[in-house]
Chains A and B, each alone.
Chain A
């Protein structure tokens, strides 16, 4: 193994990791906000990918330009899902944990069925981006432009996320509502509004990831499931509720996956991630940065 091929593996792993981090951050945000694990998260990703595909097909826009539209659409989808579905799951008097798991699980299946119905199970792909098929040669390390674009978007998103959470009223409301929804209500902050916006934001993050991935992944109704699985592990690894834990864990997962794919067969690459998770969680039962 040459230094160059090692660098190649690490670079690909990091880029993919940044995308995993995005997906995980959306999940972590929602969880941290209201203790709900969204089992339809993979389907959100799939929706975003189809949305990108749909816009590209309908308007012949470059997917890169379609991305903001997709993100906006996903924001709306997320908020809508909260208001129309999740809000009722939160009203459960018992088993709140299990109710929302299976309510979102049912939601995921429904979305998958809808996608299958509207788009058929056929695999789709987008070849028409100006990024498609091009790579950047960085001293012998080849970085495919779509993935690079995704990595850049991810970094920007995390910076923006940081500002939103730490510096805006909304971000503070998010934190406060997470701490104590009851007290927050007394302060005049509408809990439902905060949660809906939180879900919107979480879905938007997935939207960013999905719109980029649509450029270099095949799109089909079941595409979200393996990524959802990785997202759950990433969030747990980073610590539920910690968004920057999601970033750190995402990078770690991306790297581990890239290394595992080379060490084992590509079909076994997930084993590296699982092994790392099991080891980490043995020593740190709440993940790397979790405190909930």
Chain B
């Protein structure tokens, strides 16, 4: 092994490009080539995402059936929600089964701001997101000391508490929920009586943004730190990662986007009530696409949503109407089959990320 003097030992690099000076050896050039190849792989992901986005943007023009368009909106929304969940659960390894609380915060906050103060849902979305992030930070402080299942149960408990509080809060409509009064079609009010197209594009926008955020994270300092913390927190600490701070950042980001999704949903359905937006079953549904698609992967949540949501909706309409339970049976069996046949998620069909050999 040829020994090389390295100017970077002990000093921080000051330029944004790695310095290849007069004494560049063929190793430097190899490294550069390796970096370029890596960058190309990353750019390819973006290209695929752009292509997918274009396809989904054109899809509604081909599919005029309102019912199918509805499924499209929900699929895209769940892709965005699950992607947000994935930031905390997949990358950071903190499994939350109480994310419905953030969804609910987003839904209620923007709705109440709109119905009581006429604030446009666009602002309401941001307000809901910000508040959700704050709640996540406040909860993270006591909860991140909890390990594994204890943390998960704590998230469930918090979400249930939130649900109960809202159920008994008259200002928020209690069990009756809140109905958004119908008005003329308007982007400012995010209301469209019959046309689903704006909702589709909005949901697509959410899905794209959440994908982009995850993509940027994957290549960033935070992404590496989170995954390190997930794999082995002690080793991560020995490498300078401040575990607690990392988890807090992941939690806040995850909560923010989940809440924004909630605000969108409220505008979409025009009526919200605690059980539909804050229930435990809903928390599970937010996590499900990510887990089945491939937890901790970039495309997993989207893939999972693409498979699960249309299937859920279609079985429910074809089989579920009479309370016969067949839709549930199909749904349940499908989940079991995917979970057991492809525990790394559907992404493993595409070679996903290098799968760890040992179960943890």
Partners in one complex: yes
Task: Kindly state the separation between the CA atoms of A117 and B329 in the bound complex, as whole angstroms.
Answer: 9
A residues 100-136 in Cβ contact with B at 8 Å = 101-103, 105-118, 120-121
B residues 322-360 in Cβ contact with A at 8 Å = 323-337, 339-340, 343-345, 355-360
Number of A residues with CB within 8 Å of any CB on chain B: 57
- The yes or no answer to A183 lying at the interface (CB within 8 A) is no
If A98-B95, A221-B325, A277-B157 touch, does A106 touch B336 (CB 8 Å cutoff)? Answer: yes
- Identify 6 residue pairs between A and B in the complex whose beta-carbon atoms are under 8 Å apart, listed by A's number: A99-B343, A101-B95, A117-B329, A233-B157, A286-B147, A290-B150
Is A88 in contact with B157, judged by CB distance below 8 angstroms?
no
Task: Kindly state the separation between the CA atoms of A290 and B360 in the bound complex, as whole angstroms.
Answer: 20
> A31 to nearest B CB, angstroms?
8
Residues of A within 8 A of B326 (CB): 113, 117
Query: Can you name the residue of chain B whose Cβ is closest to the Cβ of A277?
Result: B157
Is B336 in contact with A117, judged by CB distance below 8 angstroms?
no
Is B164 in contact with A270, judged by CB distance below 8 angstroms?
yes
Is A274 in contact with B288, judged by CB distance below 8 angstroms?
no
- The yes or no answer to B81 lying at the interface (CB within 8 A) is no
- The yes or no answer to B153 lying at the interface (CB within 8 A) is yes
B residues 124-173 in Cβ contact with A at 8 Å = 142, 145-150, 153-154, 156-158, 160-161, 164-165, 167-168
> A277 to nearest B CB, angstroms?
5
Known: A114-B325, A114-B329. 4 other contacts (CB 8 A): A109-B328, A116-B328, A236-B150, A278-B142
Is A102 in contact with B335, judged by CB distance below 8 angstroms?
yes
Query: Can you name the residue of chain A whose Cβ is closest to the Cβ of B281?
Result: A225
Query: Which of A15-23, A89-97, A199-207 interfaces with chain B?
Result: A89-97
> A124 to nearest B CB, angstroms?
14
Query: Can you name the residue of chain B whose Cβ is closest to the Cβ of A121?
Result: B323
Is A109 in contact with B335, judged by CB distance below 8 angstroms?
yes
- The yes or no answer to A281 lying at the interface (CB within 8 A) is yes
Residues of A within 8 A of B292 (CB): 102
Query: Can you name the residue of chain A whose Cβ is closest to the Cβ of B159?
Result: A274
- The yes or no answer to A75 lying at the interface (CB within 8 A) is no
Interface string of A121-156 (1 = CB under 8 A from B): 100000000000000000000000000000000000
Is B359 in contact with A106, judged by CB distance below 8 angstroms?
no
- The yes or no answer to B119 lying at the interface (CB within 8 A) is no
Residues of B within 8 A of A37 (CB): 149
Cross-chain contact of A93 among B281, B328, B359 (Cβ < 8 A): B359
Residues of B within 8 A of A (CB): 95, 142, 145-150, 153-154, 156-158, 160-161, 164-165, 167-168, 280-281, 284, 287-288, 291-292, 295, 323-337, 339-340, 343-345, 355-360
> A265 to nearest B CB, angstroms?
7
Residues of B within 8 A of A265 (CB): 168
- The yes or no answer to A267 lying at the interface (CB within 8 A) is yes
If A103-B340, A229-B160 touch, does A109 touch B332 (CB 8 Å cutoff)? Answer: yes
Is A103 in contact with B339, judged by CB distance below 8 angstroms?
yes
Residues of B within 8 A of A229 (CB): 156, 160, 280
Task: Kindly state the separation between the CA atoms of A114 and B358 in the bound complex, as whole angstroms.
Answer: 35
Query: Can you name the residue of chain B whose Cβ is closest to the Cβ of A105?
Result: B284
Task: Kindly state the separation between the CA atoms of A122 and B330 in the bound complex, as whole angstroms.
Answer: 21
Query: Can you name the residue of chain B whose Cβ is closest to the Cβ of A93?
Result: B359
- The yes or no answer to A232 lying at the interface (CB within 8 A) is yes
Residues of A within 8 A of B160 (CB): 229, 270, 274
List the 9 closest pairs (A to B, CB-CB), nearest first: A113-B328, A116-B325, A106-B335, A110-B332, A92-B343, A109-B332, A113-B329, A106-B336, A117-B325
Is B339 in contact with A102, judged by CB distance below 8 angstroms?
yes
Cross-chain contact of A97 among B148, B333, B336, B337 (Cβ < 8 A): B148
Is B288 in contact with A102, judged by CB distance below 8 angstroms?
yes
Is A110 in contact with B164, judged by CB distance below 8 angstroms?
no
Residues of B within 8 A of A271 (CB): 161, 164-165
If A102-B291, A267-B167, A268-B164 touch, does A120 touch B336 (CB 8 Å cutoff)? Answer: no
> A81 to nearest B CB, angstroms?
11
- The yes or no answer to A85 lying at the interface (CB within 8 A) is yes
Is B343 in contact with A95, judged by CB distance below 8 angstroms?
yes
Is B154 in contact with A278, judged by CB distance below 8 angstroms?
yes
Residues of A within 8 A of B358 (CB): 93
Task: Kindly state the separation between the CA atoms of A268 and B162 in the bound complex, as whole angstroms.
Answer: 11
Residues of B within 8 A of A118 (CB): 325
Cross-chain contact of B355 among A94, A105, A233 (Cβ < 8 A): A94
If A116-B324, A267-B167 touch, does A287 touch B359 (CB 8 Å cutoff)? Answer: no
Residues of A within 8 A of B167 (CB): 267
> A268 to nearest B CB, angstroms?
6
> A137 to nearest B CB, angstroms?
34
